Structures are given as C-alpha cells and as structure tokens.
Chain A
Amino acid sequence: MTQPMSRSTAIICALIFVALAVLPLVGSRYLIDVATEIMIYALFALSLNVIIGYSGNVSFGHAAYFAIGGYANAILLTTHGWPLAAAMPLAVIISMLAAGVIAYFCTRLTDIYFAMLTLAFSMFVWAVAFKWRDVTGGDDGFVGVAVPEFIGDRTSFFYFSLAIVTASVAALWIICHSAFGRALLAVRENPTRAGFVGINTRLMRWTAFVVAGTFAGVAGALFGMLHRGVFVESAFWTQSATVLIMTLLGGMFSFFGPAIGAATLFILQRLTNEYTEYWPTVLGVILLAILLFLPEGLAGLFNKLSKRSAARD
C-alpha cells in the first residue's frame, strides 16, 4: 500500500485496461452496460477508500457526493442546456465544495460520531433532493438527462467512461502514494503521534474527505448519464451502505481492493437477481463472511495466498 506500484500490479492494470478497451469489439450490449456500471462503481468505491482505508474513518454517507455530482451534472446539461465540457467539471466542483463544507463539521469528530454525522448529512442531501421537486424531480427522479450526442450511444459512452475513470483512478493513485498519502497513513495509524511530529491531523482528514467527495462526484455524474436519470435513491443511506460493503469486501488496506470489491459485489448481485429475489439475504451472508473471515477483504486474501505459494516455492 505504501510502496510504488509493483510489477505484477502494473501488468494486471495494463491487462484490465486492454481487455476493457477491446470489449466493445467482442462483447454483447449487455456486457458493455455491465462493464460501464462496474467501472463507475469501482471509482465510487476507490474514492470512499481514501476516507476509510487511508484516513481511518468510516463514512456512512458517501452517497451524498455521488448524488450531488449526478444531480448537478444532469441539471446543468438538461435544465440549463450547458455543454458537457462545462457541466461536468462544475458538477464535480459542486461535489467538492459540498464535501468541503460537510467535512469541516465531520472532521471535528472521530470514530462512531464521525460516521453518524456523515450519515446525518447524507440524509439531509437526500431530503433536499426529495423535497426540491422543481429542480430535482423529487421522488419521480430527474429523468431525460440530455446526454450529448457524441457519447449518446452505448459504445461511445463506454469509451468516455473508460477514459474518465482511468484518469480519475490514476489521480487517486498519485494522491494516495504522495507525501500527503503517506502522512495520512500516519494519521490513521496513530493520530496522537502524528500531531506530535507536526501534522495537523484534522486538516489532513478534511483534505482526504474532500478528495473522496470530489471523485464520488465524478462517478455520480457518469452514473446519471449512463442511466439517463438521477434518482433520490442515489443519495439514500442504502447507496452509502452498498459502496461501503464494496470497499470492505475488496479490502480497505489495498489501493485497488475496493475496485475488486465493486466488481465482485455488482456481478454477484446481477447473478443472484436472475435466480431469486432474495438479494438482501445474499448480501447479508456476504457481509457476515467479510466480518468473520475476511477482515482485510479479497485483496488481503489474495495477498495471503500469494505469500503462502511464494513461501512454498
């Protein structure tokens, strides 16, 4: 987590990128849709992990910034007729500013109090989306998002998402492995000691929160365009819980873990829904399995297995 990218990780990343790049040439429409959605969720989960894995605080309200990015982008594109090149950056900045204000209050607290306050703010965002019918469409949702023509079809939107997600993940990688990222780990590991080497721990946690909110906004803007609509459920606590479970399932002590978790959970959900309507039950079992057997998630499991096989060689 703290070293530069290992050779094997770099190779796996390159392979995944190439596989995605050629997917539309060989894959079905269904597969393209699934891949687009997984990429967006992966970015959403990776952004959350800046707060959870790197700063050591659990956020129960990360959906707020996802929804704000989604609504702002959709409203600017559709209601105000802005071009994408202006609407999406401004939507992301709005998510960033919202995260900045909310983080100012949340980072005064730690542990469960921090988590509860993030939840409270996300429910506030949900309530605004629900009640502000004229602007957001209320519980009918904001439908008919004016997605620009050049990304209007499935394949071009897939490539657009691939480009944005890749750039965002690269930016998150740089941030998490920067001087800031390393100092943030120190804050997670031992806030008292970090304070006594001269680190303003609250400012560090605030910055991590803003970074996370910004990239959640990017994911939200893509999500709204993919579905041609933004719905209040995007801001609801269940959405925050989903991305939290993705992060934990993949592993919060690994940079790419949350992306693995996002893909795994999403695919499991799709498969389960084909056979039964009891997805929440399956989700409960997955959550139990993480808590009891996989405290470091799938990434932790892979690490352990590869270390074991290396030891055998």
Chain B
Amino acid sequence: MAMLEIRGLSKNFSGFQAINDINFTLEEGARHAIIGPNGAGKTTFFNLITGHLEPSGGDVLFRGKSMIGLPPHTIVKMGIARSFQRINIYPRMTVSENVQVALIARDGRNLNLWTPAHGLNQAETCDLLELVGLLDERDEIAGELAYGRQKQLELAISLASNPHVLLLDEPTAGMSPTETRESIQLIDRISKERHLTLLFTEHDMSVVFGIADLITVLHHGEIIASGSPDEVRNNSDVRSVYLGDAVEDATT
C-alpha cells in the first residue's frame, strides 16, 4: 500500500523551477532514499511533502488523503515526522525536555494548563534517549551538545511522535565518518525495530547504499531514475550527471 503518493508536484520560486512535475510513490515499509547533486531540489521536495513550503502545483496524498495546505502540526498528527538538514532542536532546554515536549504534544497535553510538566512522560523520555544513546546527557543543555549528538537528539524528537513515516533530510550532514557510520547503524536498527517507513535525502553515497532498498535520483528538480540500488548504480544517466566516481568508491 502506498503511504505517500505524490502527483505532478511542482515548485516555482519566482521564475526558478525548483521542482518540476514529480510523480513519486512511497510504499509502506520502504526505505527510500532521494539522492542528487547539490541544488537538485532534495530539500525543497522534502519541505513540500511536510507542508513547510506551499507547492505551486500537484498533490501530496498520505494514505489517500491530500495533505496540501495542512499546517505542520496536523501533518505530524497524521503520523509523519521529520528531521531537518540544519539542526532543529530547542537549544536552551535540557536534552530530556527536548524529547519530553514532543511526547507532551503527541499526547495532546500541550494545552493542559494545570498538570505539572515535571514528571510527565519521564520513563518514555528515558527510553527514547537510551535508544539514541543520549541517556547520560539527559540533564545537559541541548545547545551545548556536540554536533553529532544534537543530530541524534533530533532523531529522538522525531521518533517521540510515534510516526508511521519518518522523513530525514540529510541525517548525516556535517558528521565525521565515525559519527556517520554510527548514525546509519542507529537509523537502520530503529527503523527496523519500529517498522517505520523511511524516506531520506542524502549526498553521502555510502549512507545511501547502506540502508536504502529503493533510490530515486533527482536532478534539476526532476526524477531521472528510480529503482533498486543496483539498478540506479548501473543507470548510465545517473552515472553521467551525478554519481561518477562516487559509485565506485562506495561499492569497492
């Protein structure tokens, strides 16, 4: 069954066609990567799906229902969570508060004016922090964590809303090779354990071939190839516009 169905999606930024008539289906349980060179439109595509940007044309359906024009908080409630390419946490709150707020929102308690926040969702907060390996840092100020740790925290925040679909925009951007490897193993493990449908953008080839079972290649705002990692790797168009030597590096 299709989790996400994208029909004729377009985005025009005052004359610049960032996304041009994209048709795309994300199947339930898939681990689907979107790749493409810088400026291919990956992040724009992501922001269109999650309602962060308004498309110029086309439709985005989640389990058959259109999501166009819905505010982010409604989209999250439908079961879609996302992370951002640039770190997006609450820098002046503690690590555990960062996760706790997402749990408060998931439980619909964010308009509860009388129940003390202290003590709410503590066990589940700890579970999520343990999952991403941040339990020992739970009382630290989130903005003071190392870069890679902040990315893990953002993953924990995204998981807190119990999504069916997890959208990760360059989950390893800016990470060191070691951090990248650890992160990928983590995302791989969590998405399997929680039966998540995963859609992510990446520029790092080793990441993509490590966990994706389907790859879609974006170039100049259009899809130029889509298929299994092997198919994409051997596609001549893809090789010429984007992959080049990177494929060799990743596969050898």
Does any Cβ of B come within 8 Å of A283's Cβ? Answer: no
Segment at the interface with B among A133-141, A192-200, A217-225: A192-200
**Chain A residues, CB < 8 A from B94:** 2
Which residue of B71, B104, B106 is within 8 Å of A195 (Cβ)? Answer: B71
5 contacts between A and B (CB under 8 A): A182-B100, A190-B91, A193-B88, A195-B72, A196-B50
Given contacts A174-B116, A207-B111, 11 further A-B contacts (CB under 8 A): A179-B110, A179-B112, A179-B117, A183-B104, A186-B93, A189-B90, A196-B52, A196-B73, A196-B76, A197-B105, A199-B105
Does any Cβ of B come within 8 Å of A93's Cβ? Answer: no
Which residue of B73, B82, B109 is within 8 Å of A200 (Cβ)? Answer: B73
The interface bits of chain B over 135-159 (1 if a CB of A lies within 8 angstroms of the residue's CB, else 0) are 0000000000000000000000100
Does any Cβ of A come within 8 Å of B161's Cβ? Answer: yes
Closest to B92 in A: A189
Q: Do B89 and A190 have beta carbons less than 8 Å apart? A: yes
Does any Cβ of A come within 8 Å of B97's Cβ? Answer: yes
Cα distance A192–B85 in the bound complex, in angstroms: 13
Q: Do A175 and B101 have beta carbons less than 8 Å apart? A: no
Interface residues of B (CB under 8 A from A): 50, 52, 71-73, 76-77, 81-82, 84, 88-94, 97, 100-102, 104-106, 109-118, 120, 157, 160-161
Interface residues of A (CB under 8 A from B): 2-4, 174-175, 177-183, 185-186, 189-190, 192-201, 203-204, 207, 211
What is the CB-to-nearest-CB distance from A68 to chain B, in angstroms, rounded to a whole number? 22
Q: A179-B104, A189-B91 are in contact. Are A199 and B118 (CB under 8 A)?
A: no
**Chain B residues, CB < 8 A from A181:** 113, 117
Q: Do B89 and A178 have beta carbons less than 8 Å apart? A: no
Q: Do A178 and B157 have beta carbons less than 8 Å apart? A: no
**Chain B residues, CB < 8 A from A203:** 111
Cα distance A113–B50 in the bound complex, in angstroms: 26
Cα distance A195–B81 in the bound complex, in angstroms: 11
* B interface: dominant SS: loop
Q: Do B105 and A198 have beta carbons less than 8 Å apart? A: yes
Q: Do A183 and B101 have beta carbons less than 8 Å apart? A: yes
What is the CB-to-nearest-CB distance from A178 to chain B, in angstroms, rounded to a whole number? 5
Which residue of B77, B116, B118 is within 8 Å of A198 (Cβ)? Answer: B77
8 nearest A-B residue pairs (beta carbon): A183-B110, A195-B72, A182-B117, A189-B90, A198-B76, A197-B102, A179-B109, A198-B105
Cα distance A192–B72 in the bound complex, in angstroms: 9
Which residue of A4, A197, A200 is within 8 Å of B161 (Cβ)? Answer: A197
Cα distance A199–B113 in the bound complex, in angstroms: 15
Cα distance A205–B88 in the bound complex, in angstroms: 20
Which residue of A174, A182, A196, A207 is within 8 Å of B104 (Cβ)? Answer: A182
Cα distance A197–B109 in the bound complex, in angstroms: 12
Which residue of A183, A196, A199 is within 8 Å of B82 (Cβ)? Answer: A196
Which residue of B73, B84, B102, B118 is within 8 Å of A177 (Cβ)? Answer: B118
Q: Do A190 and B114 have beta carbons less than 8 Å apart? A: no
**Chain A residues, CB < 8 A from B114:** 174-175, 178
Closest to B167 in A: A196
Q: Do B88 and A199 have beta carbons less than 8 Å apart? A: no
What is the CB-to-nearest-CB distance from B173 to chain A, in angstroms, rounded to a whole number? 16
Q: Do A178 and B73 have beta carbons less than 8 Å apart? A: no
Q: Do A193 and B117 have beta carbons less than 8 Å apart? A: no
Which residue of A178, A193, A194, A201 is within 8 Å of B112 (Cβ)? Answer: A178
Q: A2-B97, A183-B110 are in contact. Are A198 and B73 (CB under 8 A)?
A: yes
Cα distance A224–B93 in the bound complex, in angstroms: 39
Cα distance A200–B72 in the bound complex, in angstroms: 8
**Chain A residues, CB < 8 A from B90:** 185-186, 189-190, 193-194
Cα distance A201–B101 in the bound complex, in angstroms: 13
What is the CB-to-nearest-CB distance from B78 to chain A, in angstroms, rounded to a whole number? 10
Closest to B104 in A: A179
